[in-house]
Structure 1
Amino acid sequence: MQLVKAGLCAFGMSGKVFHAPFLKEHPGFFISAVVERSKEESKEKYPEATIYRSVEEMLQSADIELVVINTPVQTHYEYAKKALEAGKNIIVEKPFTVNVEEAEELVKLAEEKGLFLSVYQNRRFDRDFLQVKKILEEGKLGSIKEAEIRFDRFRTTPSGKQHKENPDQIGSGSLHDLGAHLVDQAVLCFGYPEKLFADVFSMKGTAFANDYFEILLFYKNDVRVRLKSSVFSKEAHNAYIIHGDKGSFLQERTDNQENELVAGAIPVYGNEWMQGLKQPDGILNFLNENSETERILTSSEAGNYMDYYQQIYEHIVFGYPLPSPGREVIQNMKIIDASLKSTKEEKVIYL
């Protein structure tokens, strides 16, 4: 099996939870380098990786062909550009960049260099979202008329992470953080909207970056898609609500990969490392071919973030399609930028 040598630009939560475990367990990857500015925490689990004290040092000295840009979003543009200029293929953590202009410049540079740029949209591989895609593909709901996608939390106190909560730093806040997932899923399921109206602000007060957003996407075929997130949601909502002219589907957010990884679980290559649910997490209510109502409790199959890295590997080795390519994710950045503009100007923004 061809071995792909990779380097991580940081070893914080993103590196420890979402990237290193999968690169380690996938037989086609080798973690050759890790950037830790002062600590050496990666040595315990990844002793084979050389520790570098800066991204620049790693790019100059490490024997790697793939670089994971998993630093705070405010640095994505800078480090991604340096990695591309050094001739490296790159994976950029979501959110891609802080604005559209940065994203477009990076994609153009990657294309000029003949390198690939993928954005780590891992929640495309959540069990709940995969179930939504399955239901939509089955067509039992008929023509979709309305949908809502939510990602709520109950985090009423500050986290202390300045790059996520400082209102003076562009790219901070829930819109870029959780919104990057919701916008991505909406575009995948329903396409690129014609226009939008958004309400983005901080429930914790103006001293903090936005922690609430509601985005209404308008489509030419009169479909409405609402994206919403709040950090003051003690009771869980259905994460996905979809209504069509033949039925409705409600899906809970039940994917547990992040929690398992944070707790120290090791992903497994070659099969589903998470188990399927034993209890229902969705409701499908529709009119069948005989115009009779069927109401079914559904259970989503296990998701697997390893599938993302498997697709990256297959792209490198076999030339298969690249998962979440940068040019595709530029659309998401346009929606995020337009949502901020809509909030500021208090009006509908045409895309």
Structure 2
Amino acid sequence: MQLVKVGLCAFGMSGKVFHAPFLKEHPGFFMSAVVERSKEDSKEKYPEATIYRSVEEMLKNADIELVVVNTPVQTHFEYTKMALEAGKNVVVEKPFTVNVSQAEELVKLAEEKGLFLSVYQNRRFDRDYLQVQKIMSEGNVGNIKEAEIRFDRFRTEPSGKAHKENPEATGSGSLHDLGSHLVDQAVQYFGFPERLFADVFSMKGKEFANDYFEIILFYQNDLRVRLKSSVFTKEAHYAYAIHGEKGSFLQERTDNQENELVAGAVPEYGKEWTQPLKEPDGILNYLNENKETQRIFTSSEPGNYMNYYQQIYEFIVFGYALPSPAEEIIKNMKIIDAAWESSKEGKIVTL
């Protein structure tokens, strides 16, 4: 099996939870290098990875062909550009960049260098997202007229992470953080909208970056899609609500991969490694061919973030489709930029 040598730009939560475990367990990857500016936390589980004290040092000295840029969003543009100019392929964490102009410049550079650039849109591999995709493809709800996707939390106290909560830091706040997931899912489900209206602000106060947003996406066929997130939601809503001409589908956010990984779960290659559902997590209510109401409790199949890296590997070795290519994610950045404009101006923005 061809071995792909990888360098990790940071070993914080993103590195420890979302990247390193999958790179270690996938037989086609070798985590050759990791950047830790002062600590050596990676040595315990990944002793084979050489520790570098800066991204610059790693790019100059490490024998790697793929770089994972998993640093704070404010550094994504700088480090991704640096890696591409060093001749390395790149996986960059979401959100891709802080604005669309940075995203477009990086895509152009990757094309000029003949390198690939993929954005880590891992929520495409969540069980709940995949279940909604499956239900819609089966067509029981009919032509979809309205949809809502939510990602709520109850985090009323500051986290202390300046790159996420400092309102002066471009790219901080929920719109870029959780919004990058919801926008991506909306575009994957329904395509690129024509217009949008957004309300973005901080419930915790002006001294903090935005922690609430609501975006209404307007589509050509009169479809309306609402994206919403709040950190003052103690009782969970259904994360997905799909309403069509024949019925509705409600889906809970039940993917637990992140929590299991934080707790120490090992994502075994080629196997289901997550805990099974204890009860149904969705409701499908629709009219059948005889106009009879069918109300069914549904259960989603397991998701697996390993499939992202499997697709990266298959692209490198076999030339299969690249997962979430950066040129595709430019659309997401256009929506996020437009949401900022809409909220500030209090108007509908045409895309």
For Structure 1 versus Structure 2, the TM-score category normalised by the shorter chain is: over 0.9
1:179 is the counterpart of 2:179: yes
SS of the equivalent of 1:87 reads coil
Per-residue CA deviation, residues 78-108 of structure 1 (Å, 9 max, x unaligned), is 0000000000000000000000000000001
Residues 276 and 300, structure 1, Cα contact 8 Å, conserved in 2: no
Partner of 2:273: 273
Partner of 1:86: 86
* C-alpha displacement of 1:291: 1.5
Counterparts of 1:1-351 in structure 2, within 5 Å, are 1-351=1-351
Amino acid at match of 1:202: S
Amino acid at match of 2:242: I
**TM-score normalised according to structure 2 size:** 0.99
Provide the C-alpha distance between the structure 2 equivalents of 1:289 and 1:317, rounded to a whole number of angstroms: 46
SS of the equivalent of 1:123 reads helix
Per-residue CA deviation, residues 150-169 of structure 1 (Å, 9 max, x unaligned), is 00000000000000000000
* C-alpha displacement of 1:36: 0.3
* C-alpha displacement of 1:196: 0.1
Amino acid at match of 2:295: R
Amino acid at match of 1:74: Q
Provide the C-alpha distance between the structure 1 equivalents of 2:223 and 2:157, rounded to a whole number of angstroms: 36
Amino acid at match of 1:301: E
Residues 198 and 342, structure 1, Cα contact 8 Å, conserved in 2: yes
Per-residue CA deviation, residues 238-284 of structure 1 (Å, 9 max, x unaligned), is 00000000000000000000000111111010021114323110000
What value does the CA root-mean-square deviation take over the aligned residues? 0.5
Amino acid at match of 1:205: G
Residues 278 and 299, structure 1, Cα contact 8 Å, conserved in 2: no
Q: Which runs of 5+ in 2 are unaligned?
A: none
Provide the C-alpha distance between the structure 1 equivalents of 2:173 and 2:101, rounded to a whole number of angstroms: 19
Per-residue CA deviation, residues 209-242 of structure 1 (Å, 9 max, x unaligned), is 0000000000010000000000000001000000
Provide the C-alpha distance between the structure 2 equivalents of 1:14 and 1:170, rounded to a whole number of angstroms: 20
SS of the equivalent of 2:182 reads helix
Per-residue CA deviation, residues 178-217 of structure 1 (Å, 9 max, x unaligned), is 0000000000001100000000000000000000000000
Provide the C-alpha distance between the structure 2 equivalents of 1:111 and 1:144, rounded to a whole number of angstroms: 37
Amino acid at match of 1:32: S
Residues 198 and 214, structure 1, Cα contact 8 Å, conserved in 2: yes
Provide the C-alpha distance between the structure 2 equivalents of 1:283 and 1:247, rounded to a whole number of angstroms: 11
Amino acid at match of 1:232: F
SS of the equivalent of 2:215 reads strand
Per-residue CA deviation, residues 53-76 of structure 1 (Å, 9 max, x unaligned), is 000000000000000000000000
Q: In terms of mean alpha carbon deviation, does 283-292 or 3-12 score higher?
A: 283-292
Residues 197 and 215, structure 1, Cα contact 8 Å, conserved in 2: yes
SS of the equivalent of 1:31 reads strand
Provide the C-alpha distance between the structure 1 equivalents of 2:276 and 2:332, rounded to a whole number of angstroms: 30
* C-alpha displacement of 1:289: 1.5
Per-residue CA deviation, residues 35-54 of structure 1 (Å, 9 max, x unaligned), is 00000000000000000000
Provide the C-alpha distance between the structure 1 equivalents of 2:117 and 2:298, rounded to a whole number of angstroms: 36
SS of the equivalent of 2:193 reads coil
Provide the C-alpha distance between the structure 2 equivalents of 1:157 and 1:11, rounded to a whole number of angstroms: 25
SS of the equivalent of 1:208 reads coil
SS of the equivalent of 1:206 reads coil
Identity of aligned residues (%): 81
Amino acid at match of 2:209: A
SS of the equivalent of 1:142 reads coil
Moved over 3 A (4+): none
